[in-house]
Amino acid sequence: SAASTPIRATLFPGDGIGPEIADSVKQIFQAADVPIEWEEHYVGTEIDPRTQSFLTWESLESVRKNKVGLKGPMATPIGKGHRSLNLTLRKELNLYANVRPCYSLPGYKTRYDNVNLITIRENTEGEYSGLEHQVVRGVVESLKIITRQASLRVAEYAFHYAKAHGRERVSAIHKANIMQKTDGLFLKCCREVAEKYPEITYEEVVIDNCCMMLVKNPALFDVLVMPNLYGDIISDLCAGLIGGLGLTPSCNIGEGGIALAEAVHGSAPDIAGKNLANPTALLLSGVTMLRHLDLHDKAEQIQKAILNTIAEGKYRTADLGGSSKTTEFTKAIIDHL
Amino acid sequence: SAASTPIRATLFPGDGIGPEIADSVKQIFQAADVPIEWEEHYVGTEIDPRTQSFLTWESLESVRKNKVGLKGPMATPIGKGHRSLNLTLRKELNLYANVRPCYSLPGYKTRYDNVNLITIRENTEGEYSGLEHQVVRGVVESLKIITRQASLRVAEYAFHYAKAHGRERVSAIHKANIMQKTDGLFLKCCREVAEKYPEITYEEVVIDNCCMMLVKNPALFDVLVMPNLYGDIISDLCAGLIGGLGLTPSCNIGEGGIALAEAVHGSAPDIAGKNLANPTALLLSGVTMLRHLDLHDKAEQIQKAILNTIAEGKYRTADLGGSSKTTEFTKAIIDHL
Ligand SMILES: CC(C)[C@H](C(=O)O)[C@@H](O)C(=O)O
Ligand SMILES: CC(C)[C@H](C(=O)O)[C@@H](O)C(=O)O
């Protein structure tokens, strides 16, 4: 049984507040008897030639082997000659879909109380190709690449996710009225996949209109799937609706069944080491990881404890208007388990 | 004086609800004794080979000569072999900056009551280059082009606008952490111009973060300047904050001092001809045109009458939750002049 053979999972605590919020996750998972054994890996201090970044090859091997991991914030060190840590992870592990559930937290008031949507972002190509040229002095160009393979793959994932989670509608977000070939191909792939899921309503929404609708009435949306840059923009917009990146979980899905959950907020060096950080995004990301592992009871138990603690309002970290330390908030969640 | 020699301005009533809302503008401007003589041009029914679109060459000549115009919604007819009407106007008239003032309307409640910002969008290049290729089967690319010339031009306009309108800050919106060369060039140009305006605070905000901040607290922003696609997205997002495209004015600035104000909402064919349309966006766009012509008293008088009518709430069109006809709303504004 799960209790006797623990699941090995990679943990990247990350930089800045990373180690503190990772501690919070470890304590809460332990208190809930989650059958996970963490393999911890830190960002290195020298460039590993095999990854061309400060991420070590061993840390990537750990995710490849375990197929599941949790990642805190990683600040890419400034300087030349190496790749961004986040982009290295996406590329090396082929993390093709970034999934962000985004829902209003009961008791935590924002301007919106009806958000309950999932953004699914293509995570490997599009405007993130890295291909840029100076054509002549004063004229530069970037290449946006859309492939049938990556578009089908993320569309498949989105419909699969929608069906598995009892969602009713998938909206493909695009700007095919301007980028007819690239976004047109993305839509074509979504339509192909949509045909295999007649029980799911499929629609296409132009990105500018989508952003307007999201701020007017986010309840209009259910599952959104989109190319890389639109996903980057819209997932942060949606996070804003419910209070920010400190509250939104995220999970990256890779080829071969890899799932790397991550807190997408920054490493907040200004408050690092002060016991002030809010671990919610990393915790909720951990919960998405548990669901990916089909540990639904544990996921449910921990998620409820987090949400109830926040809803109750007695223990909240400073970013949510409270005065609790990270460790007090963590203890409160454990008490709610 | 202005009263004795009227200013000639081009009017494109446009399609769908266009003629009705254009009538509203004409009546209100006349009632306010605005010294403007309209030169009306309609979208043609055949492709004009000189514009490659349904816009006639004569209508473009009219704007070039008058240097000022007002445009209703234009639905691009479906089919091949011609260019979108909006894009044709931008290209042929070199409309390099799209300016959208976006402010909460007193008395018209949305989730936000503190919006007061200006989006300034580069309107000619970027992702709108129209350059797309299929590289091999299943792999397509779009070119995003950023030039020093167009970036400097829109940055100059943004700072000039900020100073002329007593605004304190200009934020350049970008994704230069990913598109280092293209968005990097855009930022470099903004920085160069910023140096000439030491009295204006200059900052740079990554687009995903900008969208999150906008939905959390739009009061953080003042004037935003950005490349074409980000402008398309953010200007619609901002319109959503205050109620939608039916309430937001827009003005396009072209080379040689051209100003073409426009309602950016759709032509709403479903309610066309039914006296139900809301003329507010076209009216407020007309007001930005008056300001461009330095007719500030008339602009102020008309803008107040529009806002007071909406604030009072007795006469509102259906889209704003009222039951007034277009003509009743128009008459109410005239009564408020
Ligand atoms: C840090 C940056 C490169 C990254 C991105 O643009 O993908 C971030 O915004 C994200 O969403 O994870
Ligand atoms: C209709 C479309 C081509 C246009 C654009 O993308 O520029 C519209 O969204 C706008 O903002 O005027």
User: Between vectors from CA A102 to CA A180 and to CA B239, what angle results, nearest 5°?
Assistant: 55
Distance of CA B202 to the CA centre of its chain: 23
What's the pLDDT score for residue A75?
83
Greater confidence, B225 or A107? B225
What's the pLDDT score for residue A98?
98
Alpha carbon distances (Å) from A199 to A118, A134, A223, B160, B318? 18, 48, 14, 54, 34
Query: Poorest-confidence range of A145-159, A297-311, B72-86?
Result: B72-86
pTM (2 d.p.): 0.95
What band does B1 get if pLDDT is binned at 50, 70 and 90? very low
B86 lines ligand 2 (CB under 6 A): yes
DSSP code of residue B247:
S
Taking only the tens place, the pLDDT of each residue in A203-234 is 999 999 999 999 999 999 999 999 999 999 99
User: A212 vs B127: CB contact, 8 Å cut-off?
Assistant: no
Which ligand 1 atom sits closest to the C-alpha of B206? 9
Distance CA A19, CA A273 (A): 9
Range B225-249 average pLDDT: 97
List b or e across B34-53, with b for residues whose CB sees 16 or more CB atoms inside 10 angstroms: bebebbebbbeeebbeebeb
User: B215 vs A207: CB contact, 8 Å cut-off?
Assistant: no
Range A90-97 average pLDDT: 95
What's the pLDDT score for residue B79?
62
Alpha carbon distances (Å) from B254 to B6, B15, B98, B150, B157? 22, 23, 9, 12, 11
What's the pLDDT score for residue B44?
81
Taking only the tens place, the pLDDT of each residue in A133-147 is 999 999 999 999 999
List b or e across A51-79, with b for residues whose CB sees 16 or more CB atoms inside 10 angstroms: bebbbbeebbebbbebbbbbbbbbbbeee
* Strand segments (E) across B82-214: 95-103, 116-122, 132-136, 139-147, 169-174, 201-206
Instruction: Name the residue of chain A whose CA is nearest to B151's CA.
Output: A138
What is the A232 CA–ligand 1 centroid distance (Å)? 7
Instruction: Name the residue of chain B whose CA is nearest to A139's CA.
Output: B147
What's the pLDDT score for residue B5?
87
What band does B43 get if pLDDT is binned at 50, 70 and 90? confident
Distance CA B38, CA B8 (A): 6
B232 lines ligand 2 (CB under 6 A): yes
Distance CA B184, CA B174 (A): 8
What's the pLDDT score for residue B47?
86
Q: In degrees rounded to 5, what are phi and psi of residue A167?
A: -85, 155
Read off the tokens for B305.
């009458």
Read off the tokens for B16.
């769908």
What's the pLDDT score for residue A285?
98
Dihedral (Cα; B209, B214, B216, B222), 10-degree rounding:
110
The answer to whether A302 and A32 have CB atoms below 8 angstroms apart is yes
Angle, helix A18-31 to helix A296-312, in steps of 10 degrees? 120
Distance CA B292, CA B287 (A): 9
**The residue count for chain B:** 337
Q: State the smallest CA–CA distance between residue B302 and chain A in angstroms.
A: 27
Question: Does the pLDDT at position B3 exceed 60?
Answer: no
What band does A43 get if pLDDT is binned at 50, 70 and 90? confident
A86 lines ligand 1 (CB under 6 A): yes
What band does B46 get if pLDDT is binned at 50, 70 and 90? confident
Q: Compute chain B's Rg from CA coordinates.
A: 20
- In the predicted model, what is the mean pLDDT of chain A? 95
Number of CB pairs < 8 Å for A and B?
159
Task: Of A162, A159, A173, give the one whose Cα is nearest residue A126.
Answer: A173
Nearest CA to ligand 1 atom 9: A232
Q: Given B138, B142, B207, which is nearest A147 (Cβ)?
A: B138
What is the B206 CA–ligand 1 centroid distance (Å)? 10
What is the B173 CA–ligand 1 centroid distance (Å)? 15
Range A116-134 average pLDDT: 96
